[in-house]
Structure 1
Amino acid sequence: MRPTCLLLFGALCSVPLFAQEQKPEEDLYELSLEQLMNVPINSASKKDETLFDAPLSSYTITRSEIDKAGSASIMEALRLAPGVIVREQTNGVYDIHIRGFDNALRYTPQPFSKSNLTTLVMIDNRPVFNNNLGGTFWESLPIDINDVERIEIVRGPSAPLFGPNAVTGVINIITKRMGTQPVYTNANVQYGSDTRIANGSFGYRTSDKFSFIVSGNYQDRDRFDDTYYSIPQQQFVDPVTLFTNTSANPQASAANRYPNREQALNKWGANGFIAYKPNEDVSLDLSMGLQKDEVQKVFLGVQGGSTQLTYFTTNKSDSRYANLSAQVYGLHIRTSYVDGYDNINVGSNPSQYDYTTFDATAEYGITLGKNNTITPGISYQVVDYTDAPYVNPDQNIYGFLNEDHSINTWAGFIRTDINPSEHWRIMAAVRADKFSTPDKTRLAYELATTYKINKLHLIRAAVTRSNSGSFIGNTYLDVSINTGIPTAPTVKQIGNTDLALLTVEMYELGYRAQLSEGLQLDIDIFRQTMDDLSAIVLSEVQPTQLPPPYPAVVPKTYQFQNIPTTLTQHGITLSLNYVPNEKIQVKPFVTVQKTKTKNLLSEYNAPNFNPTYSDSDHENTPAWYGGFYCNYKASSKFNINLSSYTYAGHNQYDYADRTGTASLGEIDSKFLLNARISYTPVKPLSVFFNGRNVLNSDSREFYGTDKTAGVYMIGATLNL
């Protein structure tokens, strides 16, 4: 049911909740020079300020930029931000990293390790992290691009402010809110090559104290290709061919694994937001929503016995959430609950599980003098995963856990923000997280300082350390794989309840300057180190170390274990904001970096008591990447926008290509150009042409995935 009626259903409504006051969308093309230069952010220090004053390396993608650039999804919008690596696997499906560290373990056999497992993504400060193996299932966000007021990015470790998993940085998606208008209605529809998108919102303010908004979103995208990469054959083939040597009925196996072969992404979501503010010192915000999606992407890959056949898998999920935020004088409380289902490898056994996540945070801001604050707080999180409903040993259907498992985390934290002088600011934060599994306490810290030489020049420095959380899959994995090989019929993969948690330490220097009334410069220089990595490696274990019942003979067993690999990265990010007048804005940006590995484990099938290690340059992360945003407001009715994204050629590695003989891992350098031309015949209505990758640069951006292609859409936006 892909048609226009579903697209029109998406014209329902859009969302505000926990953000700064929204300016009506009619004003997006009427922003003043001051507004274009003084971009707001809250995530850099958890207080409202401008990007110029922020103590950490950070960036805000504004609603104005999203709209004018024509970003067709939240993921694509991140290509407008410096220091973010965004690569497309197929139409609308992305892998996103902050400053790289991607595919850190290079030849690990697990495809999910190529994904970003270490950046914390939030919606209005609510984590939307996947606690199974880490990372973010971007397609499973309940909101879509029309719901966004702005996207705030903090580059570098940020766990002291936001908790575990903010290891390489934070992406905080701030949703829209009502502002002062009594009624808000927005509908947006785009239709074009391989892509159909619809969003809608309705908001109503009943009084100065109470308002609500509801929204709906829908995306349906086709793949750019219809073949799949065969690892044994090292070429792209019809999916039936993948199963010719591993299945008695290859056609049925292909249909089971790929029920919608031509579909890249299909998702819908609905959200509701209620805001109540009885007085200036008390406010309540309640958000609720649900989503459902089906996507093809690289995560687990398809195995035939003990052989990896290909990378693309079909994933399905649905979830429901509720989030309550309350501000009562100086006390801020936020709590959320998520209930969901994932099938991370459709047609495979095991692949399905149910999960719930509950978290609560309370902090109290104490003001000391005019500009000094100290904020202590506590937080609690419990995640529960079970695949018991999907396990049936009598039919040889097993899970990856085979029972219920939970991990809870208590934390205490304190942060200070003080101003020893008019020009000097110091922000410090420390956080201790106590995990139930592993039974350890981890400490994260952050010290940042800024010094304003004058109103036009600011220098800053930061030292931070952050760790990941504890993941269910890494801890409690329990999988038996039937290899079909008589001499070794079973392979075990198990978790480890005593893993050290991945850690990143960073040193950073920055300089910001207002070079003229309409020109800003921002430079970041950084050095960061990642260690305590873990991977599934061939292990020597005793029968009693395996989950019961204990086998008489130990099968070939792989286990999550820490490895001594360390990554060190040096880099610099430079960005400009040039606004010569209120008609033109240009924002170029680039990051140049170099990453090295030490003690890299080159063979994961070698027992851990006899490993082989090496030191080398890490070529999986682009050595440079960046882009530009260029907007021209020809008149109050006509707007032209060009934006680009580019990165250097690099290599992606895989276990099946340890000798480097296949050329698939050679990711060519790329330049993507986007264009959006909009016309507003009457104030509530805007029509537009939206071209993504208009030069049709079709090189693959990720190992074993589709070629990319240009997407050309026409659309309309209605604001009432």
Structure 2
Amino acid sequence: MSLKFTLPLAGMLLLGVYVPSYAQEQEPTEEDLYEMSLEDLMNVPINSASKKNETLFDAPLSSYTITRADIDKAGSTSIMEALRLAPGVIVREETNGVYDIHIRGFDNVLRHNTEYQKSNLATLVMIDNRPVFNNNLGGTSWEALPVDINDVDRIEVVRGPSSPLFGPNAVTGVINIITKRANKDAKTYANASVQAATPSTFIANGSFGKKVSEKFNYTLSTNYQNRKRFDDLYYNDNTQEFVPIQTLTSNSEKQYPHPDRALNKWGANAFLNYKTSEKVSFDLTLGLQESDVQKNFIGGNNTPFTFNTSQSQYANLAAHLYGLHVRTSVIKGTDDLNYGTSPGKYDYVTTNAEAEYEFKIGSVATIVPGINYQNANYNDKDYFNAQTGAYLNGETVIINTTSGYLRTDIKPVKDLRVIAAVRVDKFSVPNDAYLAYEFAATYSLNANNLIRAAVTRSNSGSFIGNNYLNIQIPVQVAPGVTVNASRVGNQDLNLFRISMIELGYRTQFSKTLQLDIDVFQQKAENFSAIITTSAITSGFANVPTVAKQTGATLSLNVVPTAKWQIKPFVTYQKTTTEDLPASYTATTTYSDSDHKSTPAVYGGYFVNFRPNNKFNFNLNGYCFSSQRQYGGDSPLDNSAVGNISGKVLVNLKAAYNITQKFNVFVNGRNILNSHAREYYGTDQIGGVYAVGAAFHLN
């Protein structure tokens, strides 16, 4: 049995583990997944919208909280899948358990000539306010998160530019995964969950927590997933057909060691909290993970699917000392973006430190100044090969980012709240400073009606690959004549930026019915692409393209009785582009067009019915309209595989509580077995049908 399986399995057998607890000491908590009052169901907490504890109803920005109860009732099998429960989030499955995730889109805007630029590179994902962003090419390697669905207390989603609050890369929004901690009432808890499904899917999670004293508690967790692909073929970009991998590369066994595998991952975490008083606390988290996945990211061998591996370790320390809040973290790891092929493998160390102080002016205002420092250190010297090249040409490269920010939260009169934030990020590469800002206001018309408005602008961070890419590969251009073909970075790129205007309205028609509407207009600019300048030379450069997006999101929360909860939501948006390149050469032409890669309509629903203390039934789903995605060869690509049909997914989970501490369940994902592909050149997406059991002691 491999190490990937034995370590997490042994951990779960030793810990005996799964379900509830509570988040960090400053966070609200849900004590029981199925015994929440109507008031609790209507007043879900959030912290990420303004970095202050409040309810979703009062939050100044478009935001949403996916609760622990939502996740368990819906049967979400991963953090990625759980994001289909949030309004305004586009979640498309590439193969079993592997997703591409966007907040409001702006994906594949340029009809990119590189596969990875189709994916979301502009949403900041955090775990307990710790960034887990990939500083190499941008975006989030979801399979490489050390935590899994068991560790989640809730997931907070903020839609729209949020860099002033959270730093660079929060360009389209923020996804903040808040983890569970040892229960402040129970001295010990031990929980475990396991489910097996077709096709060949096994998921296991576990946690153990103990309140050692009034001041100290700890939680240990471990997780494991193994998923098989829905298909056994690979898309051939040249012939536009799906074929066996052996027909695309002579080294298929080396480059695709597990062609039937979609995802294999395990992780282990330790959460330690020491709290001397209400104003002084320390929180230390440690963890590691190892994963491999097949996904559309780098592309190679004439097919978009590549086999990627990752392993990493992290440590994060957060301290709250009266009004001073300090956090420092380090993550060290190795990625291989194109397994068995050079270039693509590198080592990295990313450190992040932040300090801020909260000044309170009575009950009228809060002023928070802060500083942040980040160091991203990448190298591929151990993987350099003069014959096949290396990602960074065997060098060590570093990007430092120094930031200062100020945010205020003012309530000048009873019903008016004004939030302002400004942040300056100074990058070592490019040698420039960027300004991000946010102005938001809410006004309570009365106890049941609130209007809000926001104007924000955010920029991406500086990426290692975009700046320092240095691939030199010998190419034979004539008999006996070999030259080095180069693909290089650009240290003078303008960073991707989004500006947004947003209006919103929330109303509570009654104690059991809430409505949330937001209308937004966004502008994205400073796109970059790889431009070919000669037969053997290409590199990163900005293009003049501007994308504009107008849309609206509507969501309802209906709790007619304690037995029922209904939450439908939908987003409509229209995106256009100006100065879209016709090709990726220095002599290209430009034109305007409607953007079709982001779905114009998407949303979902959540219907929960609990007839008694024994049974719980949940019907939930997700849908999106048709899209047109483009391949890596040409912006004018018209291959049929890029036509993504509209889709409606139906999920169903039925759970039975044998005792208060033990339940069994059946869990169907995509129960109608809709096979339509959801992403360019990836698998047909079939149904996943699971049986499982969960035990909780607390």
Q: Same fold (TM over 0.5)?
A: yes
Which of 421, 430, 455 is the matching residue for 2:422? 430
For the Cα contact (< 8 Å) 1:414–1:430, is it kept in 2?
yes
Cα deviation code 1:424-459 (max 9, x no counterpart): 000000000011111101000000000000000000
Match of 2:116 in 1: 112
Q: Does 1:315 align with 2:308?
A: yes
Give the drift of 1:16: 6.4
Conserved 8 A contact 1:19-1:174? no
In the other structure, the counterpart of 1:543 is none
Partner of 2:458: 466
Q: In structure 1, which of residues 705, 708, 716 is the aligned counterpart of residue 682 of structure 2?
A: 705
| Cα distance, 1:660 vs structure 2 | 4.4
Q: 1:369 to 1:603 in 2, by over 3 A?
A: same
Answer whether contact 1:7 1:197 (CA < 8 A) is retained.
Answer: no
2:328 counterpart (322, 335, 349): 335
Q: Which secondary structure does the structure 2 equivalent of 1:475 belong to?
A: helix
Structure 2 letter corresponding to 1:666: N
Aligned position for 1:679: 656
Structure 2 residue identity aligned to 1:623: A
Residue 397 (structure 1) shift: 4.9
2:505 counterpart letter in structure 1: Y
Matched ranges for 1:186-585 at <5 A: 186-193=191-198, 194-243=200-249, 250=250, 253-303=251-301, 309-393=302-386, 396-486=388-478, 490-539=484-533, 556-585=536-565
Contact 1:21 1:178 in 2 (8 A): no
SS in 1 for 2:591: strand
Report the CA distance between 1:399 and its aligned residue.
3.5
Q: Which residue of 1 aligns with 2:158?
A: 154
Provide the secondary structure at the position in 2 that maps to 1:35.
Answer: helix
Contact 1:527–1:568 (Cα < 8 Å) also in 2: yes
Counterpart Cα distance in 1 of 2:41 and 2:221 = 28
- CA positional deviation for 1:22: 7.0
Deviation at 1:622, TM superposition (A): 0.3
- Secondary structure of the residue that 1:513 maps to in structure 2? strand
Q: Distance in 1 between matches of 2:85 and 2:158?
A: 14
Distance 1:467 1:439 in 2: 15
Between the aligned partners of 2:220 and 2:144, the Cα distance in structure 1 is 18
SS in 2 for 1:179: coil
Map 1:543-692 → 2, pairs under 5 A? 556-604=536-584, 606=585, 608=586, 610-656=587-633, 658-692=635-669
In 2 relative to 1, CA 571–399 (structure 1 residues): closer, same or farther, beyond 3 Å? Answer: closer
Q: Identify the match of residue 54 of structure 2 among 42, 49, 59.
A: 49
Answer yes or no: is the 8 Å Cα contact 1:22–1:149 preserved in 2. Answer: no
Partner Cα separation in structure 2 for residue 710 and residue 371 of structure 1: 53
Instruction: Report the counterpart of residue 139 of structure 2 in structure 1.
Output: 135
Task: Supply the distance in 1 between the matched residues of 2:239 and 2:579 (Cα, whole angstroms).
Answer: 31
CA RMSD of aligned residues (A): 1.7
C-alpha distance in 1 between matches for 2:389 and 2:576: 42
Aligned partner of 1:246 in structure 2 is: none
Give the letter for the 1:345 counterpart: N
Q: Secondary structure at the match of 2:117?
A: helix
SS of the equivalent of 2:84 reads helix
Q: CA deviation at 1:279?
A: 1.1
Task: Map Cα deviations across residues 575-600 of structure 1 (whole Å, 9 max, x no partner).
Answer: 00000011100000000000000001
Separation in 1, partners of 2:333, 2:6: 27
Query: What is aligned with 1:145?
Result: 149
Change in Cα spacing, 1:356 to 1:7, as seen in structure 2 (3 Å) is: closer
**Are the equivalent residues in 2 in contact too, given 1:7–1:196 (CA < 8 A)?**
no
Residue type of the alignment partner of 1:691? G
The CA distance in 2 between the partners of 1:658 and 1:565, in whole Å, is: 13
Matches of 1:423 and 1:444 in 2, distance apart?
27
* Letter of the structure 1 residue corresponding to residue 82 of structure 2: A
- One-letter amino acid of the structure 2 residue matched with residue 355 of structure 1: Y
SS of 1:218 mapped into structure 2: strand
Q: Which residues of structure 2 form unaligned runs of 5+?
A: none
Letter in 2 for 1:197: I
TM-score of the pair, normalised by structure 2: 0.96
One-letter amino acid of the counterpart of residue 179, structure 2: T
The SS at the match of 1:580 is coil
Unaligned runs of 5+ in 1: 244-249, 304-308, 541-554
Letter in 1 for 2:275: K
- In the alignment, the residues of structure 1 paired with residue 504 and residue 305 of structure 2 have an alpha-carbon distance, to the nearest angstrom, of 40
| TM-score, reference length from structure 1 | 0.93
Are residues 696 and 488 of structure 1, via their aligned partners in 2, closer, same or farther at CA, if it must alter by over 3 Å?
farther
Give the Cα–Cα distance (whole angstroms) in 2 for the partners of residues 491 and 35 of structure 1.
61
Report the Cα offset of residue 133 of structure 1: 0.5
Note closer, same or farther for the CA distance 1:660–1:437 as it changes in structure 2 (3 Å cut). closer
Deviation at 1:657, TM superposition (A): 5.7
Deviates more, 1:692-701 or 1:490-499: 490-499
Instruction: Provide Cα deviations, 1:453-509, integer angstroms capped at 9, x if missing partner.
Output: 000000000000000000000001101234554388542110011111000000000
Q: How many pairs are equivalent?
A: 687
State how far apart, in whole Å, the 2-side matches of 1:522 and 1:595 are. 22
SS at match of 2:633: helix
Alignment partners' CA distance in 1, 2:54 and 2:315:
28
Structure 1 residue 659 displacement after superposition: 4.4
**Retained in 1: the 8 A contact 2:462–2:495?**
yes
- SS of the aligned residue for 1:419 comes to strand
Taking a change above 3 Å as real, the CA distance of residues 399 and 517 of structure 1, as seen in their structure-2 partners, is closer
Cα distance in structure 1, aligned partners of 2:74 and 2:687 = 15
Letter in 1 for 2:207: S
Amino acid at match of 1:171: I
Quick one: distance in 2 between partners of 1:465 and 1:22? 30
Amino acid across the alignment from 1:472: I
Aligned AA (2:507) = A
**Per the alignment, do residues 637 and 474 of structure 1 end up closer, same or farther by CA in structure 2, a change over 3 Å counting?**
same
Letter in 2 for 1:63: R
Residue type matched to 1:580 in 2? Answer: P
Cα shift at 1:23: 5.0
Say if 1:312 and 1:628 are closer, same or farther in 2 by CA, change over 3 A: same
How far apart, CA to CA, are the structure 1 residues paired with 2:99 and 2:398? 29
Describe the SS at the equivalent of 1:469: coil
Pair 1:396–1:562, CA change in 2 (3 A): closer
Q: In 1, are the aligned partners of 2:80 and 2:99 still within 8 Å (CA)?
A: yes
Find the aligned partners of 1:718 and 1:423 in 2 and give their Cα distance. Answer: 46
Change (3 A) 1:434 1:7: closer
Contact 1:167 1:467 in 2 (8 A): yes
Q: How does 1:45-194 map to 2 (within 5 A)?
A: 45-106=50-111, 108-180=112-184, 181-193=186-198, 194=200
Q: Verify the 8 A CA contact 1:201 1:216 in the aligned structure 2.
A: yes
Contact 1:88 1:701 in 2 (8 A): yes
Q: For residue 8 of structure 1, report the CA deviation from its aligned partner.
A: 4.7
Secondary structure of the residue that 2:150 maps to in structure 1?
Answer: helix
Instruction: Give the Cα separation in 2 of the matches to 1:184 and 1:500.
Output: 51
**Would you say the 8 A contact 1:476–1:494 is kept in 2?**
yes
Distance 2:477 2:415 in 1: 70
Moved more, 14-23 or 695-704: 14-23
> CA 1:110–1:372 in 2, change beyond 3 Å: closer, same or farther?
same
Q: Which amino acid aligns with 2:245?
A: P
